[in-house]
Amino acid sequence: MSDLLLRGGAMAAAVPAFSASAWFGWAQERPPAGWKIPLAVGSVGGCCSRPQRARSRG
């Protein structure tokens, strides 16, 4: 696997994961009564997400 492809995949995972973690973290400031657990799950899920690998054709 080329370094360029590996770096691109790492950035494709890091940017959305950081964004999701930050978004769900900010949402936990003063959420409605039943939203704490779903927001925590979303925050952790954002940190653990990864993109799907592209399949080569040929």
> What would the pLDDT profile of 14-53 be if each residue is shown by its tens digit?
787 788 777 777 777 888 888 888 888 877 777 666 655 5
Does a structural domain hold residue 53?
Answer: no
In this structure, the number of other CB atoms found within 10 A of the CB of residue 24 comes to 20
What domain range is 26 assigned to? 3-48
pLDDT of residue 56: 53
Does a structural domain hold residue 54?
Answer: no
Does a structural domain hold residue 24?
Answer: yes
Does a structural domain hold residue 21?
Answer: yes
d(CA 58, CA 56): 6
pLDDT of residue 55: 55
d(CA 33, CA 4): 46
Does a structural domain hold residue 11?
Answer: yes
